[in-house]
Amino acid sequence: MEKVTLFYLENSNIKISMQIYFNEKNQLYFDGYDTGKFVEETWGDSDYESIYSIEPEEVNKFYPIFNLSDGDRSGLLQAIKKEFSVNKAYSLFGEFMQAHNIKYSRFTWT
């Protein structure tokens, strides 16, 4: 399973990791995970998780947007990385999907 890291930061106050990949259900899966002192002070818990899952039929909408051949999963992961490799990747990716009428499921947990 090819996983692409969109953003990673680790220091004494926080560890942030955001990855995107295709899971075993062929969904495009965005997995964000924050942990550390800052998260605990902000959210009252030691970790915060943020997830998008996009069904295969919705994933097909990405390929023409990025000028990729249908089914080019690796190319899609790299195109998303190029576009969204910042600390605000989760928010920006959600806004991007809304702007392009791509349906997704969203989950956050603290």
- Residue 108, pLDDT > 90, answer no
Residue 85's pLDDT band (boundaries 50, 70, 90)? very high
Average pLDDT in the 77-83 region? 97
Residue 34's pLDDT band (boundaries 50, 70, 90)? confident
Residue 43's pLDDT band (boundaries 50, 70, 90)? low
Residue scoring higher pLDDT (54 or 15): 54
pTM of the model: 0.87
CB 17 within 8 A of CB 5: yes
Number of residues assigned to the chain: 110
SS3 of 46, please?
Answer: coil
CB 45 within 8 A of CB 61: no
- Residue 45, pLDDT > 70, answer no
Q: What local confidence, expressed as pLDDT, does residue 23 receive?
A: 96
Helix (H) or strand (E) holding 68: none
Q: What local confidence, expressed as pLDDT, does residue 37 receive?
A: 79
